[in-house]
Amino acid sequence: MPRSLRRSSSFGVLAAVLSAVLSPAAAAPTREEIERSVKLREEWQYLTREIAWPAQWTPDSRAFTYRKTVEGGFAFETVNADTLAKTPAFDHRRLASELTRVLGRPVEALRLPFAEFRYEGDRQVIAFYLDEQGWRCSIVAYSCARQREAGRPRGFGVVRDLSVLADNHPRVAPDGREEAFVQGDNLVIRRNETGAVVQLSTDGSAGDFYDPETIAWSPDSRYLMIYRVRPGYQRRVVRVEAAPEGQIQPVVRSQLYPKPGDAVDVEQPVLFDVQTGRQTMIDPALFPNAYELSAPRWRLDGRTVAFDYVRRGHQEVKIIAVDAASGKAHAAVTEAADTFVYADRRFAHELGRSGDEIIWASERDGWNHLYLIDGRIGHVKNRITRGDWVVREVLRVDEAKRQIWFAASGMDKGEDPYFRHYYRVDFDGRNLTPLTPEAADHTATLSPDGRFLVDTYSRVDVPNVSVLRQSSDGAAVATITEGDISRLTAAGFRPPEVFSAKGRDGKTDIWGMIVRPRDYDPAKSYPVIENIYAGPHDSFVPKQFWPFGYHSGGDKVIGMQALADLGFIVVQIDGMGTANRSKAFQDVAWKNLQDSGFPDRILWHKAMAARDPSYDVSRVGIYGASAGGQSTLNALLFHGDFYKAGVAYNGCYDNRMDKISWNEQWLGWPVDASYAAASGVDHAARLKGKLFLIVGEQDSNVDPASSLQVVDALIKADKDFDLLIVPGGEHSVGRSSGPIDYITRRQAEFFIESLQPD
């Protein structure tokens, strides 16, 4: 019996009967329809032509290269910036043959397993990333090799892996006369003329050692800076791979994995005068309780050395500058916040030879903007940008012309506030010049010489267009590619609908998109499924055209379309607590990860239902992966009266179990009650609705024990749920690797059973 008929009052029963007659529900999909839906991406992804990815310039600025869609797949094309002549970037067949050999699996010429590369040398070598590994391939001899990264790994950047030897090759001074390295945990130098070894430090030990990977020589070879390190906690996550490929017995795997609250490496910058042997400990009063210090970098004049400092808890960031002659340090610039300083928005450019001026990105007025800082005293000389909009990226700082090229969103009123546009502005804030006028989301790359930019723009309903522009004023030089989606449209593709509604404050627009079944009938009633990712580090509703992602757990349009075609309306929303709007918008997430923007999301759903009678808010499901998995579980824990079913992938369900870097950024340090408040383990007894947990056994991003701790808590609370553990599955299980079709089918069947009428 349809759930709508199970009402207590006679009036409710009558209303439900009338609703069922006037707005009939769709019949449940057959197994054949489900399997066809699972294959939708495979059927559609090669139907477009001339859809270009953002361009990469050659180092000499004479050409640029991009990937684009062609008959049968994708091809890389290089364009001469002066003549606009187009040629293949390399021999795709020969490269595919070599990758087939070295990878041990078939690689097709028009389906190479990378989306971008860079030229090295005289355009005879290309470099790219594949399976999170760096590769270099000669495109003369067509030979490829994986790049081995030298040095000691660090767990999430803050704890050195002491099981791996540090890279202790001698660091040669700029004048070539001396070289520095570590011997017996202490810093030494070798005079190259005589071979004599001179010990510069005597206070190093195994528990407080000098790290050779931090050695930095001054340009005049007189000074060097190095960090003395007191190691942090070597926490290791251990995973059992139950069904390794090619063998019967399981394998135990171990990973350095610092978690919130763990002790991080303590780094003490030490300055040495190589001529006199003087050793100066840099006073840590300016950088107490450091979460991390950047590698030391010498200014061009050799008079000062600088490093970046992030305080534990992420509420303060500084550039510390040290005078080489005296060893005295000062804060060249300081950024502080009551909540957090957003790591991904940090930008600094030290001007000239001495760093006396610094271009600095700051959210101090509530929006991310650029400032010109006096690096000698740390004060603002002048603002460069201002307004209720966000600087998203800095492309280029031209010190000679005192101009900046940058991307921003939200400047053009009446547009989607997430659309990026590009601009040029002078250091004093004058002559702000728009460079990309089309009402769309733009991604631009500047030529190294600063003359041109390649602007690739699109919307979810407008395929990619790439234009070569003058960087001075944005004037179009030539259209390079225009996407053709005629065959995709003929196959049934329809772009998603963009919709905005007011958030919890009654004023702020919350933006989302809607994907309907291809056989959508407005007279019918459809259950709704929300695809959620609510991490504070970004916004997630697609703004560009390319709709092809992986089905389960993905955030792309075709995966949502495949699910919608089974009788759902599928949506995605950016609620408060996500990035790329004001700081106040993002600050909602501070020590409040359980919020996930749900007050805004629920209002958005209700506003859509008020406009569209087919949108049934009595039957809303939700799915997401990683932080989206955590949000999915929390939807059923904290908003179970609204959300009725959820599929949660690889969630960080208790932030105390997850990586130190992401969680201390948003929940702070020390670990406090806010971690427990967001915990799906602590609140498991609150579960309402139907839950399907999916986890990759070998997740190296989120400790898979987090999922099993939720399972334990749900069992203890006597809660029913479904669980799928994927042997050998990584964090990307069901999205970019693993048994995608199987997991996609299981998710579809779960929602059909949970949300559609009997």
Nearest-CA neighbor of 284 among 254, 238, 318?
318
Are the C-beta atoms of 261 and 158 separated by less than 8 Å?
no
Euclidean distance between CA atoms 44 and 66, whole angstroms: 22
**Which pLDDT belongs to residue 758?**
65
Task: Print burial letters for 201-237: b (CB count within 10 Å at least 16), e (below 16).
Answer: beebeeeebbbbbbbbbbbebbbbbbbbbebbbbeeb
pTM above 0.75, yes or no: yes
What residues does CATH 3.40.50.1820 cover in the chain?
Answer: 496-755
Euclidean distance between CA atoms 684 and 324, whole angstroms: 56
Residues 6+ apart with CB under 8 A from 595: 576, 577, 588, 589
Q: Tell me the per-residue pLDDT of 71-125, one tens digit each, with 9 for 90 and over.
A: 999 999 999 999 999 999 999 999 999 999 999 999 999 999 999 999 988 889 9
Q: C-alpha distances in angstroms, 474 versus 283, 433, 454?
A: 48, 8, 10
Written as six digits, the tokens of 465 are 């267009």
Written as six digits, the tokens of 533 are 């990712």
Nearest-CA neighbor of 73 among 23, 98, 109, 102?
109
| Cβ count within 10 A of residue 498 | 15
User: Can you tell me which residue has the tokens 């990815």?
Assistant: 53
The correct CATH number of 496-755 out of 3.40.50.720, 3.30.70.2190, 3.40.140.10, 3.40.50.1820 is: 3.40.50.1820
State the sign of the Cα–Cα–Cα–Cα dihedral 424, 426, 427, 432: negative
The widest CA-to-CA distance across the chain, in whole angstroms, is: 101
From start to end of 337-440, where are the E strands? 348-351, 357-362, 369-374, 379-383, 390-398, 403-409, 420-426, 433-434
Q: Tell me the per-residue pLDDT of 716-746, one tens digit each, with 9 for 90 and over.
A: 999 999 999 999 999 987 444 446 789 999 9
Q: Tell me the per-residue pLDDT of 31-82, one tens digit each, with 9 for 90 and over.
A: 899 998 889 988 999 999 999 999 999 999 999 999 999 999 999 999 999 9
Least reliable range by pLDDT among 544-558, 707-721, 724-738 = 544-558
Are the C-beta atoms of 707 and 653 separated by less than 8 Å?
yes
Q: C-alpha distances in angstroms, 43 versus 38, 485, 488, 514, 700?
A: 10, 14, 10, 22, 31
Euclidean distance between CA atoms 758 and 753, whole angstroms: 8
At 38 the three-state DSSP class reads: helix
Q: Tell me the per-residue pLDDT of 333-352, one tens digit each, with 9 for 90 and over.
A: 999 999 999 988 899 999 99
Euclidean distance between CA atoms 353 and 343, whole angstroms: 26
